[in-house]
Amino acid sequence: MVERRYHADLEIAWGQLPGRRRRGRRGALRWLPSATGGYLLLALAKGPEELAAAGARLIVSTPPGADLPSWLRERHAALQAGFGDSLTASAIALRLDGGQLDHAWVGDLRLYHYLAGERCYRTADQSVVEALVQSGRLPEDEMRRHLLRHTLTATLGGSDRHELVVAPPDTALARREIVAGSTLLVTSAGLHHSLGEAVLAAHVAAPGASSTVAAALLAAAATTGVDEEAWIAVLRPSTPRPARGRPASAALARGRAAWRTRGR
């Protein structure tokens, strides 16, 4: 099931596909409107099933405010205080302010920015395989099949001895401009690893509303037998919002007008 919401001139749609494994990462996604814009928060926690679900909900339960890296550091401390070494998590926060989007993340949740169907940006995973790609030792299209694809180099929670690294390191990279022809995807590893870059790009290039793209990507992921929860959020400049209720047909409208005329 895909949920949909409108914010300013954007249509935002998101949905989830359960994974096959009972043990794994459990997620939560939340949209929080604010006076100056809105926040889209996605978190996936890894640990015992019930704890992981509770940990993901804890992360997205608090509004971030304008300073997204500070919010991630607070969520890191909250996860450690609530669950100790039992859980680690990935999280990404997006702040929408007019036609601008700020973002920050920890782990391997991704933000993609496509323009006219072509990818112009994606966040870099904090993972072993991403480091291999960045160093030129692994092609990007082989990340999704690598045995170490789920081994992260930075997480929220877990041991209080590790240093939290919030991305992006250069704050100038944190802002994206949403222009006509833009599509933004927020994906979990279960989604982008199961489909791959070419499939993501093909669905983004297809016409349609955000909800149509989100539903198509989840349906495609389902055919791959994805083994962990797959989450997707799609943001696109919106067409005029559909009117509430069932639209009347032209013939019905003419009939009503004729009835009113006869009744005078």
CATH number at residue 57: 3.60.40.10
Q: 95 phi and psi, to 5 degrees? A: -120, 120
Range of the domain at 88: 2-262
Q: Can you give the pLDDT of all 264 residues of the chain as single tens digits?
A: 799 998 878 899 999 998 766 556 899 999 998 877 899 999 999 988 889 999 999 999 999 988 999 999 999 999 999 999 899 999 999 999 878 899 999 999 999 999 998 999 999 899 888 888 888 888 877 877 788 877 888 899 987 666 788 888 766 668 888 888 999 999 998 899 889 999 999 999 998 899 999 999 999 999 988 878 899 999 998 765 554 454 444 543 444 444 344 444
Structure tokens given for 147: 């045995």
What is the end-to-end Cα distance of the chain in Å, rounded?
48
Domain count, the chain: 1
